[in-house]
Structure 1
Amino acid sequence: MPYLIAPVFNSTTLRPVRIELPQSFLLLSGEEKLYKLASRFLKNQMDESRLLFDRKVRADSLFLFAEYPDLKVRQDQAWIEEIEQKLNLAALDGICSIPYIITAQPPVFGITYLKRSNDGKKFIFDERTEEIFQSLIWDKPSLPQLAVRRYALSLEKKNLEDQLLDLWIALESLFVPDGKKGEITYKLRLRMAYYFGDTFAEREQVAQFVKRSYNHRSEIVHSGKMLGKALEHDVRRLRQMARAVILNTAMEGITLQELRIRLDELVIAGESYASRYKPAFFERVNLESINKRKS
């Protein structure tokens, strides 16, 4: 039987994994045979030094595997991209990607290139990540599509300015779909402060961060300013915030219109989101160092 193997680049697992996915796919790790096959066929394909593969894929990485009678990779490309997208949403930190697919009908092997591999911190598939990923795959919560698309695009960008712009587009679509010119920054500061902050001090921290980071966005868009590594802190925090809201709204099953109404109620009531609505699932953002930047 022909089969498909797709290594999940930059991923690592703490124990062997075997997860059944829709469409007869499996997500596996700890399968030495899959690693050896991927290494054999992709090392030469990727670069002459043969070192890039070893930096991206290990024996304890995740692998997609499926028996694949038709060998029609392009028909399943959207599904494979969805798996990558949901893996990245499931993890609190780290970035993974699925850039190559190996199809095989021994002794014939073929390689399909899908995209450039993403760079970033190692993606660790731990128990919490697996729990969220399984829910995204099997419960199929309705995800805010614009926010998810921009979140995914931010992971693919090398330039920090581009990453920041994508993340702010995602956050604006979540927090100010009703925003008009001149009031967007105000609404972002207020709504994000009450969404993420439980106390006055935390809300003040969030509001200050939003104001500063959105000013960076404006400098990039309107002046073409390049801020480089000064944006690393902003991008890391914005990514955590966007991910949290995407997951929270999806898992709670509320629309962005319902979210906006709730956010305005919070401001009137002076309460935090978690305390007022007590959602069963609520990813938080670590605010301890939200306004601290590396020197």
Structure 2
Amino acid sequence: MPLLIAPVFNSTTPQSVRIDMPNSYTLISGAEKPYKVASRYLRNEMDENRRMFDKRVDMSSLFLVGDYPEMRLTDDRDWIEEIENKLNLSTINGICSIPYVITAKANLYGITYLKRSLDGGKYMFDEHAQRIFLALLDRDLPTLAFRRYSLSLEKKSYEDQLLDLWIGLESLFVPDGRKGEITYKLRLRMAYYFGDSLQQREKIAQLIKKSYNHRSEIVHSGKVFGNTLSDEVNILRLMARAAILNVAMEGISLQDLQVRLDQLILTGDSYYERYNPSFFERIIL
């Protein structure tokens, strides 16, 4: 039977994993065969530094494996990238990527390049990440926010990361935004969404105002901030990830979210207090 093996670069698992997935795929770790095949055939074919393989892939890594009777990799390319993106959304502990796919039939092996491997800390697929990933498999995610969050992980500069994250956050919190009102609505809605107290809301509102001004300076004047944006980008990423997960887990539309957020501003409640969702990732500044 033809076989597909896609090593999940930079990933590690505290114990063996086996997850049956759609499209006749399995996500596994701790299995000898996928690692041996990848180690033998991929290391010398990589477009990147060959030593990179040993740093990014080992027996504890995740592997996406599937029976591939018709060998139609191009049909599943988007789905493989979606799995990578959902893995990255499942935890803030590191960044993984699926840059190469090996297809095998008898003694014939082919290597398909999807994209470069992503930079970042070691990706830990622990029990918490696994629970979230499994929940995301059959859920619809807010498309633009999810895509921009994933793209931000691929960008080298903090300016580009910030822009991607703000596009995602705007799509979540101001789908009704108009010029001149966006910053005001973002400050209020995000403050009441993430903040449980007046003090927290004030800190969030100040951060949003400052960061959105940075966004405008980057877009309109090409200003380069460099590493000074590091902490700010990390907070924006936490906010974007939390909101994407919360919307997906709750199954709420962005229009309904907007209505709820505006009601919170009138009542003075926090989102968690008012709606008490069964799943809610929180951000504490």
TM-score category of the 2 structures, normalised to the smaller one: over 0.9
Runs of at least 5 residues in structure 1 that lack an aligned partner in the other structure: 288-295
In structure 1, distance between residues paired with 2:129 and 2:85? 13
Aligned to 1:268: 266
Aligned to 1:81: 81
What letter is aligned with 1:257?
Answer: Q
Aligned to 1:293: none
**Aligned pair in 2 of structure 1 residues 69, 133: CA closer, same or farther (>3 Å)?**
same
Aligned to 1:17: 17
Q: 2:157 aligns with which of 159, 171, 174?
A: 159
Q: 2:143 aligns with which of 134, 142, 145?
A: 145
In structure 1, distance between residues paired with 2:125 and 2:49? 28
- With normalisation by structure 2, the TM-score equals 0.97
276-285 or 32-41: bigger deviation: 32-41
- With normalisation by structure 1, the TM-score equals 0.94
Q: 1:227 aligns with which of 221, 225, 228?
A: 225
Q: CA deviation at 1:49?
A: 4.9
**Aligned pair in 2 of structure 1 residues 144, 47: CA closer, same or farther (>3 Å)?**
closer
Aligned to 1:292: none
Where do 1:106-185 residues align within 5 Å? 106-137=106-137, 140-185=138-183
Aligned to 1:4: 4
Aligned to 2:205: 207
Corresponding position: 1:257 with 2:255: yes
Runs of at least 5 residues in structure 2 that lack an aligned partner in the other structure: none
In structure 1, distance between residues paired with 2:270 and 2:92? 22
SS in 2 for 1:185: helix
**Aligned pair in 2 of structure 1 residues 267, 49: CA closer, same or farther (>3 Å)?**
closer
Aligned to 1:195: 193
Q: How many positions carry a matched residue from both structures?
A: 285
**Aligned pair in 2 of structure 1 residues 47, 254: CA closer, same or farther (>3 Å)?**
closer
Deviations 1:174-197 (A, max 9, x none): 001111111111111111111001
In structure 1, distance between residues paired with 2:48 and 2:200? 51
Aligned to 2:67: 67
Deviations 1:234-274 (A, max 9, x none): 11111111111111111111100000011011111111100
Where do 1:49-68 residues align within 5 Å? 49-68=49-68
In structure 1, distance between residues paired with 2:284 and 2:17? 29
Q: CA deviation at 1:142?
A: 2.3
What letter is aligned with 1:214?
Answer: Y
In structure 1, distance between residues paired with 2:47 and 2:174? 44
Q: In percent, how many aligned pairs have the same letter?
A: 64
